[in-house]
Amino acid sequence: MAKFYFAEFTNTESGKVFQKFGHTGYNDAQKRLDRITEEYPKFKARVLAAAYHHDIYKCQGAEEAFQAMYPKNFWLEEKISGITECVILDPNSRKEIIDAVMRLNVKFKKECFGENSTREPS
């Protein structure tokens, strides 16, 4: 049970917003983000889009592909565990990525459950 995700973080003290691509073995990517924000409470995080696949290496590959297309352009002063590759994106790019991740989820779903599957990943 793995997920590739696109997330947004907000620094509640400064209001600065940045995005992150990631993958996790958690079925719910928000749980991964919650672990980060519990340790660093001045940050809020939310999943913008996610794609499920049985094979965590597929999720890791998706993360690497998106990081190559949208390279790190922002560095945090804090050394936050799990956050090394950050980007600040314009609203158009952000929407394009959300749409692309949603399409990837459909593709992954077909790979995992078959072409005509109506089963939703949990």
- Is the pTM higher than 0.85? yes
**DSSP string over 37-100:** HHHSTTEEEEEEEEEEES-HHHHHHHHHHHHHHS---B--SS--TT---EE---HHHHHHHHHH
Mean pLDDT score, 99-113: 95
Mean per-residue pLDDT over the chain, rounded: 90
Higher pLDDT, 27 or 23: 23
For the chain, the structural domain boundaries read: 2-113
Report pLDDT digits (tens) over 30-60.
Answer: 998 999 999 999 999 999 999 999 999 999 9
pLDDT at 26 over 90: no
